[in-house]
Amino acid sequence: MSKKRIRVLVAKPGLDGHDRGAKVIAQALRDAGMEVVYTGLRQTPEQIVSAAVQEDVNVVGMSILSGAHGTLFPEVIKLLKEKGAGDILVVGGGIIPEEDVPALKEAGIAEIFGPGTPLEEVVKYIQANVKN
Amino acid sequence: MFREDQLEKIAAKKESWTAKLEATKKKRPERQSQFATDSGVDINTVYTPLDLKDMDYERDLGLPGEYPFTRGVQPNLYRGRLWTMRQYAGFGSAEETNQRFRYLLEQGQTGLSCAFDLPTQIGYDSDHPLAQGEIGKVGVAIDSLADMETLFDQIPLGKVSTSMTINAPAGVLLAMYIACAEKQGFDKSQINGTIQNDVIKEYICRGTYILPPEPSMRLISNIFEYCSKEIPQWNTISISGYHIREAGATAAQEIAFTLADGIAYVDAAIKAGLDVDTFGPRLSFFFNAHLNFFEEIAKFRAARRVWAKVMKERFGAKNPRSWTLRFHTQTAGVSLTAQQPMVNIMRTAFEALSAVLGGTQSLHTNSYDEALALPCDESVMIALRTQQVIGYEIGVCDLVDPLGGSYYIESLTNALEEKAWEYIGKIDALGGADKAIEYMQKEIHNSAYQYQLAIDNKKKTVIGVNSFIMQDEEKPKGLLKVDLSVGERQVAKLAKVKAGRDNAKVESLLKDIREAAQSNANLIPVFIDAVKEYVTLGEICGVLRDVFGEYKQQIVF
């Protein structure tokens, strides 16, 4: 029996317009056989969580390069839990200083992928850690 | 450019040489089966006059400062004055950015370049819910004229030129700049600088759009018209390929998409009734300097030649100044690595050198720590010193267009020009750049994905990322951090400004803006009246959003 395809929401929270990385990751996950929805720019945490629930995804991947990750990433986790979607695997990427990573992980972000991460590494991480 | 009999001799010589080359290749196989630039131009082993046999010197190159400006926009370029060394800066509060500006001026920087935070760039005041977490992060927060006054405290705006990276609300920030200069005691005709004001590339790839294309183009035409009459030294737009390249475009796409955007702005202004030669001379451009050294130099040269032809032949501009493509350059942020960050100093230096050899008018060099955080004082200083080494120590500024006439550079300039015209033709067929946004996004994304795959499969070497990796690399210290209290302080300052102004007057000024927006009037004078009374950016943009609606992005990937 074939395994269910992994469904991923790639999201751009906040006002930051840098979406090169988000789109490249989205394409790589799609090429790896996952079903990928990309939100587009300027999504509030509420919009991201509602899209995640509506699209019934297993994974949310967020990208921020503006420095607003400390506020917005934890807010998404909090709202996902409130909606009973706390089992979704949430990962992040962008320009995120290493010293901020422990607090983000503490808040419930499973992994942070910084600049220079090979696409393969993200694909494998998701395949290994998704709760399907 | 070469005599027929000379070319025949060279061709014969090359034939026997090629046989020798093939024999050599058998003994010394080449590192790659094929060599090509980032734009996909094949690179031969060597270039000769045969590669330039159709070239006509006067038609294709000319002399510096003469049509088609391939060799530069000024006759003596850096022999007269070096490019403007202009480091993009701005973070946190207006006080902090003012300190950074003054530090840079003390270090010998010759112009300012201001970064605004995202709420400011999208026309929201700091007390807007969407500003949460973003205040002061990627630039300085400006809500009202009060912040602008602090930002330029003790910096004489009649003497320093300032470039402002502001697009959708450019007219409002320009109004604040004018009001601030007047408060300092200068006449507005004395101010000098640039607003980015390029909204099409915001739709394509940078993301700080507010209004739909039609009212955005009208605001841009309003700015062209106002500035041509009132502040003739001002660069009314900086048509930007930088972000298009950062988003993934190749060098050829960077030229083509940027100039296609330029064509759309000229078209709109002509349709609004302006004469091409009144605003044409004040259009300026902004390019990226990426890693592929020779291709970048050729790119700047090709861009100048294409734009000269566009303005002269397509739009019939008569003033030679309308034909010239003057540009700012920034080194490629996307080429910086978080790994072994000091190596970024070298990358940036080579990129900066390509911009200088390409004849840039001003330059920003990135700091080595920018893949990790906003740059600290030390890294910014090294970045500025990099420009000073190029300008003062290595002798490349003692003549104009030193690589002009290189068989390779000229051949590559021709190849990039040809590719650029092809893309411009496609965009024309779609109805122009403002109608071809999704097409360009798709092309850029495809190039970005191919670039990443080339890194992942090691076809492209990135030191520290896929090659020459250091285990247990020491993490850099002293990274700049913007603390969250900036947001709280900014919101408090805004509340104080709103409490201290004449709010009845504010209401009436906002009504004036609404009426002007609904009519065909030029909006800039009403913006100036409003900001002088401390009407905020968010209030003005709120009225514009209400009258014109907001742009909705199509999702393409």
pLDDT of residue B89: 87
For residues B314 and B302, give the distance between their C-alpha atoms in angstroms, rounded to a whole number.
17
Q: In Å, how far from its chain's centre is CA B405?
A: 27
Q: Which residues from chain A sit within 8 angstroms of residue B207, using beta carbons? A: 15-19, 41-42
Task: Indicate the pLDDT class of residue B542, thresholds 50, 70 and 90.
Answer: very high
Average pLDDT of the residues of chain B: 96
Q: Mean pLDDT throughout B98-121?
A: 92
For residues B314 and B260, give the distance between their C-alpha atoms in angstroms, rounded to a whole number.
12
pLDDT of residue A77: 97
Q: In terms of C-beta density within 10 A (0-12 exposed, 13-18 middle, 19 or more buried), how is residue B455 classed?
A: middle
Contact A41, A12 (CB under 8 A): yes
Please name the amino acid found at residue B145: L
- Tell me the CB-side half-sphere exposure of residue B358, using CA atoms within 13 A: 37
Q: Which residues, in sequence order, are CB contacts of B485 under 8 Å at separation 6+? A: none
Q: Which residues from chain A sit within 8 angstroms of residue B133, using beta carbons? A: 14, 68, 70-72
Residue A35 has pLDDT above 50, yes or no: yes
Token pair for residue B113? Answer: 């370049």
Chains A and B form CB pairs within 8 A to the count of: 106
Long-range contacts of A111-119 (CB under 8 A, 24+ apart): A114/B338, A115/B336, A115/B337, A115/B338, A115/B371, A116/B337, A116/B338, A116/B339, A116/B371, A116/B462, A116/B464, A116/B465, A117/A93, A118/B455, A118/B456, A118/B466, A119/A24, A119/A25, A119/A28, A119/B452, A119/B453, A119/B456
Contact B542, B549 (CB under 8 A): no
Measure the CA angle with vertex B101, ends B96 and B106; round to 5°.
Answer: 125
Indicate which of A18, A25, A76, A119 best probes the interface with B, i.e. most B CBs within 10 Å of its own CB.
Answer: A18
pLDDT of residue B110: 81
Looking at chain B, the whole-number percentage of residues with pLDDT higher than 70 is 100
pLDDT digits (tens, 9 = 90+) for B22-47: 999 999 999 999 999 999 999 999 99
In this complex, the residue of B119, B138, B456 whose CB is nearest that of residue A67 is: B138
A20 and B372: CB-CB below 8 Å? no
B338 and A116: CB-CB below 8 Å? yes
A20 and B134: CB-CB below 8 Å? no
Residue with tokens 């015209």: B421
B456 and A42: CB-CB below 8 Å? no
Task: Indicate the pLDDT class of residue B91, thresholds 50, 70 and 90.
Answer: confident
Residue B176 has pLDDT above 90, yes or no: yes
B465 and A26: CB-CB below 8 Å? no
pLDDT of residue A1: 42
pLDDT digits (tens, 9 = 90+) for B301-350: 999 999 999 999 999 999 999 999 999 999 999 999 999 999 999 999 99
- The CATH superfamily label for domain A7-129 reads Cobalamin-binding domain (3.40.50.280)
pLDDT of residue B483: 75
Looking at chain B, the whole-number percentage of residues with pLDDT higher than 90 is 92
Q: Which residues, in sequence order, are CB contacts of A90 under 8 Å at separation 6+? A: A59, A60, A61, A62, A73, A76, A77, A80, A108, A109, A110
pLDDT of residue B251: 98
Residue B170 has pLDDT above 60, yes or no: yes
- For chain A, the domains span 7-129
Q: In terms of C-beta density within 10 A (0-12 exposed, 13-18 middle, 19 or more buried), how is residue B354 classed?
A: buried
For residues A35 and A4, give the distance between their C-alpha atoms in angstroms, rounded to a whole number.
10
For residues B510 and B441, give the distance between their C-alpha atoms in angstroms, rounded to a whole number.
36
For residues A1 and A4, give the distance between their C-alpha atoms in angstroms, rounded to a whole number.
9
Q: Which residues, in sequence order, are CB contacts of B320 under 8 Å at separation 6+? A: B67
pLDDT digits (tens, 9 = 90+) for B337-395: 999 999 999 999 999 999 999 999 999 999 999 998 888 889 999 999 999 999 999 99
Q: Mean pLDDT throughout A11-22?
A: 95
Residue B268 has pLDDT above 50, yes or no: yes
Please name the amino acid found at residue B297: I
Residue B10 has pLDDT above 60, yes or no: yes
Task: Indicate the pLDDT class of residue B479, thresholds 50, 70 and 90.
Answer: confident
Q: Mean pLDDT throughout B214-226?
A: 97
Task: Indicate the pLDDT class of residue B475, thresholds 50, 70 and 90.
Answer: confident
Residue with tokens 């183009």: B217
Residue with tokens 């840039």: B360
Q: Mean pLDDT throughout B62-72?
A: 98
| Chain A interface residues (partner B, CB cutoff 8 A) | 14-20, 23-24, 26-28, 38-42, 44, 66-68, 70-72, 95, 97-98, 114-116, 118-120
In angstroms, the separation between the Cα of residue B146 and the nearest Cα of chain A is: 24
A41 and B484: CB-CB below 8 Å? no
- ipTM confidence: 0.93
- DSSP code of residue B287: E
Residue A2 has pLDDT above 80, yes or no: no
B339 and A118: CB-CB below 8 Å? no
In this complex, the residue of A72, A116, A118 whose CB is nearest that of residue B133 is: A72
pLDDT of residue B484: 76
Residue of A nearest to B243 (CA): A18
pLDDT of residue B408: 98
For residues B512 and B509, give the distance between their C-alpha atoms in angstroms, rounded to a whole number.
5
